[in-house]
Amino acid sequence: MGLRYFRGKELTWLWSRTRKGVSNSCPPEALWPNCIQPLVVLDEIRHRLGETIRITSAYRSPAYNEAVGGERMSYHKIFMALDATSPAGAAKLHAVAREVRGTRLRLPGGGSFVWRGGIGRYPSFIHVDTRGRDANW
């Protein structure tokens, strides 16, 4: 994928997860490009953090999203959101994510974008998405 720290296998295991008897699935191929920017965001957070980051949620099929109690309009359903954890802790991850938001990030293969998106802080993980406008929770 051309990222410093993340590889495809860090996402694919998530597509076989099951919750409440509902299995997740591989995202439709048309959605695959949507995950590039969130991965670039996490890659930059990882670089600045200097600690490992583990992706704990990525694409969620609509049925799986409902089974895990996700938001009805979740960006996970369109592969534009990632949840992640780190030994550094959610507070440190959140702080670094806030530093990264609004900066210009390079895309693999050329080009760049300014990250505008959501950052959610939970007790053990953070959520980042690339919705195009800033949101905090």
Give 61-105 as a 3 state SS string: CHHHHHHCCCCCCCHHHHCCEEEEECCCCHHHHHHHHHHHCCCEE
Domains of the chain, earliest start first: 9-136 (3.30.1380.10)
Instruction: Give the model's pLDDT for residue 9.
Output: 87
34 pLDDT tier (thresholds 50, 70, 90): very high
- Residues in Cβ contact with 114 at an 8 Å cutoff, skipping those fewer than 6 apart: 102, 103, 104, 105
CB count in 10 Å sphere of residue 47: 14
What is d(CA 133, CA 104) in angstroms, rounded to the nearest whole number?
14
With 80 as the cut, is the pLDDT of residue 1 above it? no
Average pLDDT, the chain: 96
CB atoms within 10 A of CB 96: 22
Span 53-108, pLDDT tens digits? 999 999 999 999 999 999 999 999 999 999 999 999 999 999 999 999 999 999 99
Confidence of residue 8 (pLDDT cuts 50, 70, 90): confident
